[in-house]
Structure 1
Amino acid sequence: MTTVVEFPPLRRDRRVHGWVFSSAVSQIGDMAWYIGLAWSAAQVTTPAGVGLVMGIGALPKALILLYGGALADRFDARRTMILANLGRIVVLAAAAAVVGLWGVSLPLLLTVAVVFGAVDAIYAPASGTLPRRMVRSDDLVKLAAGSQLANRLAVFVGAPLGALLVAHGGLATVMLVDAASFAVIALALAYLVRPRLPRAASTGTSIRADLRDGFGYLRRDGRARTLVIAFFGLNLCVGPVLAVGLVQRTHSAGWGPGALGWFQACSGISAAAGAILAMRWKPGNLARAGLLALIIQAAGCVMIGVVPRTIVFLAMAMIGFTAGLASAQLSAAFQQTIEPSYLGRTSSIVNLSDEALMPVAMTAFGAFISLTSIPLACAVLGSAFAALMIWSAARVRPEATQALSR
């Protein structure tokens, strides 16, 4: 007998509201922790040591991420997320106690960063399986856009909060605030955020078999493979331009750090506007619409290398707006397209481009700038990005985002 699942209107869905709100609270705590960690590291070690502290968490995350994806498809994702948050709380509480007794030290900061990286590798793939099971397929874009808006607001709140807390209360205070934010999302997951749709778990005989099957799924399913390739290109093309190219252009032009901050603010505000549009506009083919919108983003990447300062604001607005719009559309398309029992593994493969390949991409892009010039480097990477999005859009057929509710 088939059970009919009732979905309340999204605007009155307490489970969705609880998920979005608790995730934003957790993001505020994470951002505050990031600021507190960076500032505290600067007080106890050299610039090289600061770089090690801020980057070392990516290593365990990259190593464990695929394993975390397999776990997400094999076990109950909600319980995995609750346990991960409880683990973070224990680590932060213990670290705050150590700071209170013996003060801040480099080994302590490195230990917490490594543990957090490992826990993130378990938590992130599990969280990627929830949206498809909580709302109607037609509401996935609105959920993705609403989550994006809430998280961007959380970043704006969390950064100054972290600076305030570490300045007046020290790192232990930041740790306790971050622990409280993890408690909020753990409680929301335990008592409010419950998936409505069942999901078939992976059926491999082992985690290793599940991992092989995950890559095999991408070989078999061309639509899923195209989306994964497009996400890889998006992550590896835009990130280096914004993190390296924009900084180098601003520095070489003598515009000063203030201009860099305003550029980023312009992008953030525009991204919020793009997310709002995503809530109201639903094209027939979400994947294709999102991929074609990113061609505008690629043009913004090219512009960063050549246009004057006033037009860089336009380029950042183009990048931000299309990021807000396309991220919501592509996130929903991804949820609709991927077979539910492979969501965790596929999400972890996509996330791996950020964790393992992004440092390589940024280093290579910086070297390319040194060998050529900022305008040429931005033009080459932006053009490659546009070509990849055109190729991906041509391969995503209209039915690609119309997967059945399974």
Structure 2
Amino acid sequence: MTSTLIAPGTAIGKPAHRDPNVLRWLAAYTSSMVGDSVYYIALSWAAVQQGSPAQAGAVMAVSAVPRALLMLGGGVIADRFGPRRVVIGSDLVRCAAGLSVAALLFLTSPGLWPLALLAVVFGTVDAVFMPAVGALPARVTTRDQLARVQGMRGLAIRFANVVGGPLGGLAVALGGAAAAFGLAGLLIAVSVPLLISVRMREPAVDDKAEADAGNADAGDAGEGAGGRGAAPGSAVLGAPDSEAGGATATARATTPLGDLQAGLRYIRAHRVLAPLMLAIALGDLGFVGPLNVGLTLLADERGWGASGMGWVLSGFGVGAGAAALLLTVRGRLPHAGHVAGWAILAGSVAIGALAFVPGVLAAVGVALLVGLLAGLSGALCGALLQTQADPAYLGRVTAVSSLVSLGFAPLSMPLSAAAIGAWGTGPVFVGSAAVCGLGGVVALCVRDLRRAELPG
């Protein structure tokens, strides 16, 4: 005569890697990411062919400006109108832009201006696309599967990196930049019908209550649990896409600026999200410089050559892929906050050690360890963001996280290059490792983040 009551949205079903709905979303995401990789190959090749190396570099960098400036606004749009609508609209715009440039390059030789315009369009759309992509998993699976979905997403990114580069190079070799742009547009287009077929779920009341519990005693009552100090109607900002008109009604009831301010207040007052954002920022700032420009300079200094650098990067990719696979298979890891903190800290030590290894083989082994630890901490931090944030704020939470990782962290690359020129690779790698390690210290010293758990 005993029965178990299962709250809405937490019912036990298929694990994410066996759920056809999640797999359709994953196929759409993977196709879009492979298209992105092909696009970057096409853009870099076309820019080099149409202009000088300096001009090509400017074209490649121009997309970063609108992406950084508009990212927070993109989070507001994702929360106001629903992440699936925003992702579908973004993919349609990117597909149309890529195919238009492909046709233009096929018919004529227009110079750099259409490439620069395309880069601006992609950067602007990315500012909306990235927060929406981050908010979408919570609409396609239950909270207890979000950690596994983060692992699956990590595998998709690794697959896109491995496949997209050679595929883009093959398209350029066979048909030039026009063919590569066309292929990129078609790959992005494949994601649209797949996303349309994905069923959206409404976040359960219990989901929101658990997220609110982490914020219950923060700040004043107006900024308290669940962000109830937000403008009226903000509780349905995250309404599922299937509820036509719900998000639109909310958009009329509040202003975008008010929604943005409410989202920032929500993050600042949250006992887990606020320190988690700081840990992510410090970890990325210490990681991006050494593993990008720093590794190139290190390989040149040690005489490893381009092939040696490629092997080191491959080691990192294998490690990161192994971490994503682990989370995909396990579904969750206990003591997530604790493990993430120690992974960041241990990964920072490995980053510092990379500058002192004697040869390529040892560097590959250390890079594999860096990838494993960085991939594990990144996946856990992403899963904690997904599960700790109130779904109504998830787009804005993802936007802040993306801005930190993709807007601010890349600024460390020119600084790292200049510092290596002045002091050498060893001191700069150690200094960067210290900055990265501070992220782990934050995660381990803040009690609520250290004790944060993934549902399961």
For normalisation by structure 1, the TM-score amounts to: 0.93
- Residue 177 of structure 2 is aligned to residue 171 of structure 1: yes
Do the aligned residues in 1 keep the contact of 2:260 with 2:396 (CA within 8 Å)? yes
1:96-111 mapped onto 2 (5 Å cutoff): 96-111=102-117
- Residue 431 of structure 2 is aligned to residue 380 of structure 1: yes
Q: Could you list the per-position Cα deviations for residues 341-360 of structure 1 after superposition, in whole angstroms to 9, with x for gaps in the alignment?
A: 21111211111123432342
- Residue 190 of structure 2 is aligned to residue 184 of structure 1: yes
Do the aligned residues in 1 keep the contact of 2:203 with 2:391 (CA within 8 Å)? no
Residue aligning to 1:209: 258
Query: Using the alignment, how far apart are the partners of 1:10 and 1:58 within structure 2?
Result: 33
Aligned residue among 128, 143, 150 for 2:149? 143
Residue aligning to 1:250: 299
- Residue 352 of structure 2 is aligned to residue 302 of structure 1: yes
Moved more, 363-372 or 11-20: 363-372
Cα separation, partners in 2 of 1:42 and 1:222, compared to 1, 3 Å? same
Q: Could you list the per-position Cα deviations for residues 54-85 of structure 1 after superposition, in whole angstroms to 9, with x for gaps in the alignment?
A: 11001111111111011111112111111111
Give the deviation of 1:402 after TM superposition.
5.7
Query: Using the alignment, how far apart are the partners of 2:199 and 2:371 within structure 1?
Result: 30
Query: Using the alignment, how far apart are the partners of 1:78 and 1:118 within structure 2?
Result: 18
Moved more, 54-63 or 170-179: 170-179
Do the aligned residues in 2 keep the contact of 1:141 with 1:329 (CA within 8 Å)? yes
Residue aligning to 2:282: 233
Residue aligning to 2:15: 9
Give the deviation of 1:195 after TM superposition.
3.4
Do the aligned residues in 2 keep the contact of 1:15 with 1:194 (CA within 8 Å)? no
Do the aligned residues in 1 keep the contact of 2:95 with 2:188 (CA within 8 Å)? yes
1:305-384 mapped onto 2 (5 Å cutoff): 305-309=355-359, 310-384=361-435
Aligned residue among 43, 56, 64 for 2:62? 56
Query: Using the alignment, how far apart are the partners of 2:273 and 2:283 within structure 1?
Result: 15
Q: Could you list the per-position Cα deviations for residues 242-270 of structure 1 after superposition, in whole angstroms to 9, with x for gaps in the alignment?
A: 11221111111111111000100111112
Do the aligned residues in 2 keep the contact of 1:60 with 1:118 (CA within 8 Å)? yes
Amino acid at match of 1:19: W
SS in 1 for 2:177: helix
Do the aligned residues in 2 keep the contact of 1:44 with 1:106 (CA within 8 Å)? yes
Amino acid at match of 2:169: A
Query: Using the alignment, how far apart are the partners of 2:304 and 2:7 within structure 1?
Result: 61
Cα separation, partners in 2 of 1:193 and 1:36, compared to 1, 3 Å? farther
Cα separation, partners in 2 of 1:46 and 1:396, compared to 1, 3 Å? farther
Residue aligning to 1:26: 32
Query: Using the alignment, how far apart are the partners of 1:375 and 1:325 within structure 2?
Result: 25
Query: Using the alignment, how far apart are the partners of 1:226 and 1:396 within structure 2?
Result: 10
Query: Using the alignment, how far apart are the partners of 1:30 and 1:13 within structure 2?
Result: 26
Residue aligning to 1:160: 166
Query: Using the alignment, how far apart are the partners of 1:24 and 1:280 within structure 2?
Result: 18
Amino acid at match of 1:297: G
SS in 2 for 1:128: helix
Residue aligning to 1:197: 203
- Residue 290 of structure 2 is aligned to residue 284 of structure 1: no
Do the aligned residues in 2 keep the contact of 1:93 with 1:176 (CA within 8 Å)? yes
Amino acid at match of 1:117: G
Amino acid at match of 1:349: V
Over the matched positions of the two proteins, sequence identity in percent amounts to 30
Amino acid at match of 1:400: A
Query: Using the alignment, how far apart are the partners of 1:45 and 1:96 within structure 2?
Result: 17
Moved more, 42-51 or 386-395: 386-395
Give the deviation of 1:323 after TM superposition.
2.4
Give the deviation of 1:377 after TM superposition.
1.0
Q: Could you list the per-position Cα deviations for residues 106-147 of structure 1 after superposition, in whole angstroms to 9, with x for gaps in the alignment?
A: 101101111000011111111111112222222112111112
Moved more, 63-72 or 135-144: 135-144
Give the deviation of 1:396 after TM superposition.
4.5
Do the aligned residues in 2 keep the contact of 1:274 with 1:322 (CA within 8 Å)? yes
Query: Please, what is the CA RMSD of the aligned residues?
Result: 2.1
Do the aligned residues in 1 keep the contact of 2:63 with 2:120 (CA within 8 Å)? yes
Moved more, 160-169 or 327-336: 327-336
Do the aligned residues in 1 keep the contact of 2:337 with 2:443 (CA within 8 Å)? no
Q: Could you list the per-position Cα deviations for residues 35-62 of structure 1 after superposition, in whole angstroms to 9, with x for gaps in the alignment?
A: 1111111111111111111110011111
Query: Using the alignment, how far apart are the partners of 1:10 and 1:154 within structure 2?
Result: 20
- Residue 310 of structure 2 is aligned to residue 261 of structure 1: yes
> How many pairs are equivalent?
403
Do the aligned residues in 1 keep the contact of 2:340 with 2:443 (CA within 8 Å)? no
Cα separation, partners in 2 of 1:152 and 1:193, compared to 1, 3 Å? farther
Cα separation, partners in 2 of 1:167 and 1:321, compared to 1, 3 Å? same
Runs of 5+ unmatched residues, structure 2: 1-5, 209-234, 238-249
Give the deviation of 1:9 after TM superposition.
3.3
- Residue 97 of structure 2 is aligned to residue 91 of structure 1: yes
Do the aligned residues in 2 keep the contact of 1:145 with 1:328 (CA within 8 Å)? yes
Residue aligning to 2:83: 77
Give the deviation of 1:163 after TM superposition.
0.5
Runs of 5+ unmatched residues, structure 1: none
Cα separation, partners in 2 of 1:11 and 1:359, compared to 1, 3 Å? closer
Do the aligned residues in 2 keep the contact of 1:152 with 1:268 (CA within 8 Å)? yes
Give the deviation of 1:221 after TM superposition.
1.2
Query: Using the alignment, how far apart are the partners of 1:399 and 1:393 within structure 2?
Result: 9
Query: Using the alignment, how far apart are the partners of 2:15 and 2:397 within structure 1?
Result: 29
Cα separation, partners in 2 of 1:350 and 1:234, compared to 1, 3 Å? same
